[in-house]
C-alpha cells in the first residue's frame, strides 16, 4: 500500500526489496494513487504493469484492500495476502522475514485475520494499541494470540497503563490473511463497500469499473471497518525494530 508522493520513493523500494525475499516478485502488487503510477513503475521496474493497481481517489485502507483482494482472488482463489504500508522502517529484516513466514504458515491453515503486533518499547500516544486475551505474559510469547480490543491513540496515562499490563501491542499496520477470508469479512462488515465491487470477476481489471467503484467508496480504514468488528482477529507478536516514518 503506497500512499504516493507524501512518502519518499526510497521507502517503496525498500519495502519491495524486503518482501521479494519472502514471495516471488510476480506475486507482489503495489496499490497506489493513479497520479503516482509512473513514479511507482520507475521505482520498481521489475514489476509487471498489471501488478501496479492505480486508485483513482484516496479512500483509505479498506477500499485499497478491496481492490487488491479481489484482484488477487481472481488470479488465485487460494492466495494468502501480506498487506503492508510502504512508509515503515524495519530494522531487522531477518527477524521480519522469520515473523512474517511464521504468520503466513498459520494463516495458511486457519481462516483468521492476522495483524503483526509490535512489542512496545514505551507508552507512546501516537500509535494504536491492540489488546490480546492471553494476559500479562503476552510479550514473551511467540505464537498467534487472540485479539481482545483495539484502541486508537490513547492518552499518556492510559498508554502507561497499557504498557504495565503486558497485554497491549502497538498496531503495526501489517496484515496477513487469505484473500477469500478478507473478502468474506468485508462483505459481512462493509457491505456498502463490497457492493460497489459486484461484478469484480469480470471487471476488476477494467479502469472504468474501478473508477465507478471508487467514486462511491466511503473513506474508511481496515482497522475501523473490519478488524474492530470481526471475531476472526488475531495478532502475531513482532519483536523486530519498527517505526513509522511520520514519527521520525
CB of 148 closer than 8 Å to CB of 132: yes
Q: What is the pLDDT of residue 171?
A: 94
Phi, psi of 47 (to 5 degrees): -75, 140
| Residue in the block written with cell 500516544 | 125
Q: What is the pLDDT of residue 153?
A: 87
- 130: nearest Cα among 233, 241, 222: 233
Q: How many CB atoms lie within 10 A of CB 218?
A: 13
Say whether pTM exceeds 0.75: yes
Mean pLDDT, consecutive 10-residue stretches, the chain (248 aa), reads 79 94 96 93 95 95 97 97 95 95 96 96 91 90 94 92 93 97 97 97 96 94 94 96 76
**Alpha-carbon distance 151 to 130, whole Å?**
6
Q: What is the pLDDT of residue 5?
A: 64
**Alpha-carbon distance 89 to 96, whole Å?**
11
Cell numbers that stand for 193 in this block: 463497500
- 3 state DSSP class of 204: coil
Question: Who's near 17: CB < 8 A, 6+ residues apart?
Answer: none
Specify the DSSP class assigned to residue 224: I
**Alpha-carbon distance 158 to 125, whole Å?**
9
Phi, psi of 220 (to 5 degrees): -155, 150
Q: What is the pLDDT of residue 4?
A: 66
**Alpha-carbon distance 43 to 26, whole Å?**
15
Overall CATH class of domain 9-247: alpha beta
Q: What is the pLDDT of residue 14?
A: 94
Size of the chain, expressed as the number of residues it contains: 248
Going from N- to C-terminal start, the domains of the chain cover: 9-247
Q: What is the pLDDT of residue 216?
A: 92
Amino acid at each position: 500500500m503506497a500512499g504516493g508522493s507524501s512518502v519518499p520513493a526510497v521507502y517503496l523500494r525498500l519495502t519491495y526489496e524486503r518482501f521479494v525475499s519472502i514471495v516471488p516478485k510476480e506475486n507482489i502488487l503495489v496499490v497506489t494513487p493513479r497520479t503516482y503510477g509512473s513514479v511507482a513503475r520507475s521505482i520498481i521496474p521489475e514489476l509487471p504493469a498489471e501488478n501496479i493497481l492505480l486508485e483513482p481517489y484516496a479512500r483509505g485502507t479498506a477500499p485499497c484492500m478491496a481492490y487488491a483482494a479481489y484482484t488477487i482472488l481472481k488470479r488465485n482463489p487460494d492466495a494468502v495476502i501480506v498487506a503492508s504500508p510502504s512508509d515503515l522502517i524495519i530494522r531487522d529484516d531477518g527477524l521480519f522475514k522469520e515473523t512474517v513466514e511464521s504468520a503466513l504458515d498459520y494463516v495458511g491453515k486457519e481462516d483468521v485475520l492476522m495483524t503483526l503486533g509490535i512489542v512496545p518499547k514505551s507508552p507512546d500516544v501516537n500509535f494504536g494499541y491492540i489488546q490480546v486475551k492471553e494476559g500479562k505474559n503476552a510479550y514473551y510469547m511467540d505464537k498467534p494470540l487472540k485479539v481482545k480490543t483495539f484502541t486508537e491513540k490513547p492518552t499518556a496515562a492510559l498508554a502507561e497503563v497499557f504498557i504495565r499490563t503486558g497485554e497491549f501491542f502497538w498496531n503495526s499496520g501489517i496484515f496477513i490473511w487469505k484473500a477469500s477470508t478478507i473478502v468474506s469479512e468485508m462483505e459481512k462488515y462493509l457491505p456498502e463497500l463490497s457492493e460497489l465491487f459486484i461484478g469484480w470477476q469480470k471487471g476488476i481489471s477494467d479502469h472504468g469499473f474501478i473508477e465507478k467503484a471508487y467514486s462511491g467508496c466511503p473513506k474508511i480504514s481496515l482497522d475501523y471497518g473490519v478488524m474492530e468488528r470481526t471475531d476472526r482477529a488475531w495478532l502475531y507478536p513482532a519483536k523486530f525494530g519498527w517505526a513509522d516514518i511520520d514519527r521520525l
